[in-house]
Structure 1
Amino acid sequence: MALSILWVVLTVFVINNDNGIVCEDVLGEITDDFDFDGIPGATHEFKVEIFSGAEECFYLKIASGAKLHVSFEVLTPHEIIDFYFKDPYNMIIESLLYKGNGGIEHDINVEGIYSICLDNTFTSYTSKIVYIYIVTFIPEEWAKYVNEIGELHGLAENYTELLSGVQLSITEMKRLQAQSRFNVVKDWYLIKSNNEYIKTWSIAQSIIIVATSLFTVFFVRRLFKTEAVTPTSKPRA
């Protein structure tokens, strides 16, 4: 089992790869690990293929008091999926059923391993590519971080409110950027799907036109064909 694990402050993200789950680059950028810059909190975004008849779950160990934001969108055109957010006891906290996109925000009150599940068991033949964006941060850790900076510079009171507001603004900005990426990637898959559709039907129509032309030529030649002799084997005048 391939696991991708990265600890960030009190948060860990684990990808369970028992069923051959496929994660890809997003818009040409490597997204195997969290972006960690020494500031409390973590973000992660990736694409994943959910095979037909399968359910894939992603596990996050989250500390008490943390805030969680999750957004998802099905990139395969005109497809839907079931989304579940479960607590450490595997009880469903929130669900979004038969959705092409959506998101949740949740305040974590109990520390533990939470799971985000994408369910495609209601589909028998079609796999689906889903784009996922996750943000977690702990307000208390932000306050502690700001206090430590303030002790170094003697400006704790001046920086606390400012940096807290900046963090919330950054989180909102990243969420909006993720939504923008949703639209870009989904449009790309739609264009690709339309291109395959047009190419397939163009080939089919070309074959029909060629076949019709050959049939027409054969029919006209048969229509004007004249036998050189009569039915009694005498030369035709």
Structure 2
Amino acid sequence: MDSGRERVDQTRTQTGGAVVSEEQGWLGTVSLFSTASGEGSAGPCSCPGWRERGRLGSRMLLLVFLALLGSAGCPTTEPLSRSSQDPVFHGADRYDFAIIIAAGTMECFWQFADQNGNFFFNYEVQRTTGIGNDRNILVTASDPSGFQLGTSQDVRGQINFLTKEKGFYQLCLNNQQNQFGFMQVYLNFGVYYEAFDPDNKQPEERKEMNDTLEAIEVSTHKLQLHIFHMWRFYNFARMRKTSDSFLLESNYSYVNWWSMAQSCTIVLSGVLQLYFLKRLFNVQASSRQKC
């Protein structure tokens, strides 16, 4: 044998005209069977024990390889930190926009609010399509626990309540009654606070604040509330104006198409009358000769 190959121990045993040769190397133990006359075949041992051990070993190696590959290449996800130091995105205090709700669907929105706040939700259906043109829409408001605080089903309406707990309040608009057309709804919702928040003030600032500054602050806060309510009335007027504009455009289109249809009907009826009158006075010449 060459020096580069591993040493192989061979032992031969003479039993009953058969020669059994066992070779041991780095690949394991291999048994070679041959007959006494020299005719036979050489190959791996057909012993079931060695085959089962080889299969189990290959499976274990495959599992270990897959585990190492998964831990190295796949990213891990962790839950969001709920510590009080991490800020949570609350969004703005007030929103106003228009949304199109498809037929037979429901749209929901969430608004964050602290305790002891005044929550308001105003809506108005500006435009609708479909066969029945039912402009009523179902609106619901729920607290962070899922308890329903108010419902409204009309062309326009509002839901107002006090926020008793801190969290995200759910607002849903249901258009499942209208199965053949969409709705365009204008929304105006949010939360405002009438009282001051003493937690946002430092103790030193509260001590140094005198009566004059406190009176100025109270007056400023009242002015802000009045401006806010003026903004709400402005949004009401804008909602009505947009709704009236869509209604005028719809009526204008309806009148134009109906007038055109009536004009076509009048012209067609006149043509038909002339045609039938002409046929009444149309005398066909007879083929007989007069005497």
TM-score (norm. length: structure 2): 0.59
- The residue number in structure 2 matching 1:18 is none
**Residue 51 (structure 1) aligned with residue 105 (structure 2):** no
1: CA distance, partners of 2:250 / 2:112: 37
The counterpart of 2:117, out of the listed 66, 72, 77, is 66
Distance in 1, Cα, partners of 2:122 & 2:215: 33
Q: Residues 58 and 44 from structure 1, CA distance in 2 versus in 1: closer, same or farther, beyond 3 angstroms?
A: same
Does the CA contact (< 8 Å) of 1:11 and 1:60 recur in 2?
A: no
- Taking the aligned partners of 2:199 and 2:224, their CA distance within structure 1 comes to 14
CA distance in 2, matches of 1:211, 1:76: 35
Cα pair 2:122 2:158 within 8 Å, conserved: yes
Pairing partner for 2:232 from 175, 179, 185: 175
Question: Is residue 2:170 matched to residue 1:115?
Answer: yes
Q: Distance in 2 between matches of 1:101 and 1:181?
A: 13
Change over 3 Å in CA distance of 1:87–1:223 after alignment to 2? same
Structure ID, larger Rg:
2
Give the match for residue 22 of structure 1. none
Q: Deviations over 1:141-160 (max 9, x none)?
A: 6667799xx88997531322
Unaligned stretches of 5+ residues in structure 2: 1-86, 129-133
- The answer to whether the Cα contact below 8 Å between 1:146 and 1:160 also exists between their aligned partners in 2 is no
- Going from structure 1 to structure 2, the CA distance change for 1:195 and 1:108 (only over 3 Å counts) comes to same
Question: What do you get for the CA RMSD once the two structures are aligned?
Answer: 3.0
> Could you list the per-position Cα deviations for residues 116-143 of structure 1 after superposition, in whole angstroms to 9, with x for gaps in the alignment?
1111112221321111112323446666
Is contact 1:72–1:132 with CA below 8 Å preserved after alignment? Answer: yes
Q: Highest relative contact order (Cα 8 Å, sep 6+), 1 or 2?
A: 1
1:90 maps to 2:146: yes
Task: Determine helix, strand or coil for the equivalent of 1:179.
Answer: helix
Task: Give aligned pairs, total.
Answer: 197
Which amino acid is the alignment partner of residue 266 of structure 2? I
Query: Residue 65 of structure 1: CA displacement?
Result: 3.0
